[in-house]
Amino acid sequence: MIDARTEALEWLTVFAGACRGKDFATGRRLFAPDAVAFGTYATAVQGLDNIEREQWRQIWPRIEGFRIEGTPTVVASEGSAWVAAIWASEATAPGGGTFTRRGRATFVLARREGHWLAVHSHVSLLPTQSETAHGRPA
């Protein structure tokens, strides 16, 4: 029997594939209807229809090669799990070239009717570490 941690990692693999393939139907099957999401495009959205419209459809068509990098952190029990991971994808720069976008993601999963569903996600770009973004130390 597969343990909850392994199932949560498999969920993450399927989600990454949905992003990469711009497969909104698969993405929807991985999220609860009442999920809440924070994203790189939408600040905060509630409900799966809003998540798809305001976050996924704004980002997924604009990126290529979405992937999880390194080893995700997973804490799981039989009924719930959370996953934290670093990700990367390629996007088109204003001048037409491509660049790598790097970010982090956290997913809170709940087992509903025997399936893992995300009830919360936070997918965002890595924070800028420059003085311009954060100011100078006092």
Query: Is residue 115, in this structure, part of any structural domain at all?
Result: yes
Domain that holds residue 18: 4-128
Sign of CA dihedral 70, 105, 26, 90: negative
Query: Is residue 134, in this structure, part of any structural domain at all?
Result: no
Question: How many distinct structural domains can be found in the chain?
Answer: 1
Strands 98-112 and 45-46: unpaired
pLDDT of 128 reads: 66
pLDDT of 129 reads: 45
Residues of the chain short of pLDDT 70, as ranges, are: 1, 128-138
Q: Give Cβ neighbours of residue 67 (< 8 Å, ≥ 6 apart).
A: 16, 20, 87, 88, 89
Structure tokens belonging to residue 56 = 């996924």
Tokens 């909104």 found at? 24
CATH assignment at residue 62 = 3.10.450.50
99-122 per-position pLDDT tens digit: 999 999 999 999 999 999 999 999
- The neighbour count for residue 137, using CB atoms within 10 Å, is 5
pLDDT of 19 reads: 98
pLDDT of 134 reads: 47
Local structure of residue 20 (DSSP, 8 states): H
